[in-house]
Amino acid sequence: MQFNDTTYWLKNVRVPASLLAEVPENAERTWEDLVMVDLEVRDGAIGQIVASSQNPETGNVPGLNLRGGQLWPCFVDLHTHLDKGHVWDRSPNPDGSFNGAIETCDRDASQYWDAEDIYRRMEFGLKCSYAHGTKAIRTHLDYLGKHLPDSWEVFTTLREEWQDKILLQGVSLVLIDRFGTPEGEKLADRLAEIGGIMGGMPQMNVDLDKQLDRVFSLAMERRLDLDFHTDESGNPEAMTVRHVAAAALRHQFSGKIICGHCCSLAVQSPEEVKQTLELVREAGIAIVSLPTCNLYLQDRQPGRTPRWRGVTLLQEIKAAGIPVALASDNCRDPFYGFGDRDMLEVFTMAVRIGHLDMPYGDWPRAVTSTPLT
């Protein structure tokens, strides 16, 4: 088969039914809700999808028989840290803990991070993602004082260089109290200038609502979307996602808001969870879970088997009518010592960790179409 032909068929492929706008009539359907179809590719786009059993002869049009193999759309990786990635060989986490990850990453950044180092590692991460079928990536970029221009300049360079292969978005990563300073306002202006997303880490404190009000005001003035790291711990008192939702409602925020992690929901009472999820749904917030990294870091104590999986309430969030996505987060760095930017691996692990099978339902959308909405 000549793959440079303008029209060809991919025959006898199984596609998750949830990823099809319409399931072809009479298509064979498995108990996992995979549909057997033939797919026509015309000028680089899908021309038509028909049931394999109903497909007419394709004549001289070339075709490839995939013999029941699965075919998915490209992945969307909604939450990554390309600037941190692939430093494990030089800076491993000494004890696998969250605090160990922060301290090790800070040391690595102060010792090694410059424009050349950041570019080399970020580019390698993009190559890994592309090889594994990812088409769009959102990466958080740490605020590290003098390293900020390097990170964002590298990001904008790579965004341009990779624009024909991967759609790349950038998000700031700071403690949100920084936005209450002149330095934080300059960062917000920089994000608006380069088409970035305002992001940060809210922490439970007496000034949290005031800090969030400042973030929302800056974002609204500059028409920026928001992306927060929320409640990445097993502390049941951590409820920053609830405060984010309340702030969004106070400000009648019309932009998009993503909250990542939300681990502490899994150790809170049903009453607290219900109250939080109602606010999150009302505020129009989407949740992104990072199952591999949270499994690695959360509830880690020396000499003790973890008692919980570190992952947020995936099924309950989805049942509450809140969009929920899955993403890769960190890769071969102090926050997660494994991985290869493979979103199929992320999905597979999420299914096992969160029991997202029996039935699989529309969970395949969590790594494909849901992050795009």
Residues identified as active-site = 232
**CB distance 331 to 345 below 8 Å:** no
Q: Is 275 helix (H, G, I), strand (E, B) or coil?
A: helix
Instruction: Report yes or no: 190 and 159 within 8 Å, Cβ to Cβ.
Output: no
Among 261, 286, 283, 265, smallest CA distance to 212 is for 283
H or E stretch covering 159: helix 148-161
Question: Are 200 and 176 within 8 A, CB to CB?
Answer: yes
Q: Please, what sign has the CA dihedral across residues 48, 54, 58, 59?
A: negative
Measure the CA–CA gap between 228 and 284, rounded to whole angstroms: 14
Of 265, 259, 276, the closest CA to residue 312 belongs to 265
CB atoms within 10 A of CB 368: 22
Amino acid at 309: R
If DSSP codes are grouped into helix, strand and coil, which group holds residue 267? Answer: helix
Cβ(334)–Cβ(88) below 8 Å: yes
d(CA 288, CA 18): 19
Would you say the C-alpha torsion 249, 251, 252, 256 has a positive or negative sign?
A: negative
CB atoms within 10 A of CB 362: 15
Q: Please, what's the largest Cα pairwise distance for the chain? A: 71
Strands 257-261 and 286-289: parallel
